[in-house]
């Protein structure tokens, strides 16, 4: 493949939008369980800080169903150091079904309430 000079130079991701079926439920999941904080919100959207980046939750409109996994395979989130066992226990204690990746003791996969795939990456470990 021939390398060409890019005309637009992107510098990072400002935010990722996830459609959700119940904004209050998803907001609680991302804030209470994953430690995100509110950047700004309205009655149909919540922009949440995840470190210096943002995850935006948009309420699905007109009764549309939010279907995780169709638009996005998964979103990998960096996390502060904590043991795999403690993190897994915390998620499972909240009723979240988790699984790992074969041969990788530092990787946790799970779904949010709408089925959006999430991965936790422990700082200092490869993904």
Per-residue pLDDT of 29-80, as tens digits, reads: 999 999 999 999 999 999 999 999 999 999 998 878 888 877 788 999 988 8
Q: Which residue has the higher pLDDT, 99 or 8?
A: 99
φ and ψ at residue 117, rounded to 5 degrees: -70, 130
Residue-range domains of the chain with CATH? 15-61+73-122 (3.10.180.10)
CA distance 35 to 73: 22
Based on its alpha-carbon atoms, the radius of gyration of the chain, rounded to whole angstroms, reads 16
Strands 15-20, 53-59: pairing is parallel
Q: Which two tokens mark 125? A: 């470990």
Which percentage of the chain shows pLDDT scores above 90? Answer: 58
For residue 92, is pLDDT > 90? yes
Which tokens hold the place of 76?
């990998």
């Amino acid at each position: 493949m021939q390398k060409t000079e890019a005309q637009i130079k992107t510098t990072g991701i400002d935010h990722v939008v996830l459609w959700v079926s119940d904004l209050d439920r998803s907001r609680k999941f991302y804030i209470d369980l994953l430690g995100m904080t509110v950047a700004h919100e309205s009655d149909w959207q919540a922009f949440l800080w995840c470190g210096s980046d943002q995850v935006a939750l948009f309420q699905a409109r007109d009764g549309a169903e939010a279907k995780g996994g169709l638009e996005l395979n998964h979103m990998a989130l960096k996390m502060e150091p904590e043991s795999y066992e403690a993190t897994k226990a915390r998620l499972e204690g909240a009723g979240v079904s988790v699984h790992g990746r074969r041969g990788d003791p530092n990787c946790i996969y799970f779904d949010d309430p709408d089925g959006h795939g999430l991965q936790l990456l422990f700082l200092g470990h490869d993904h």
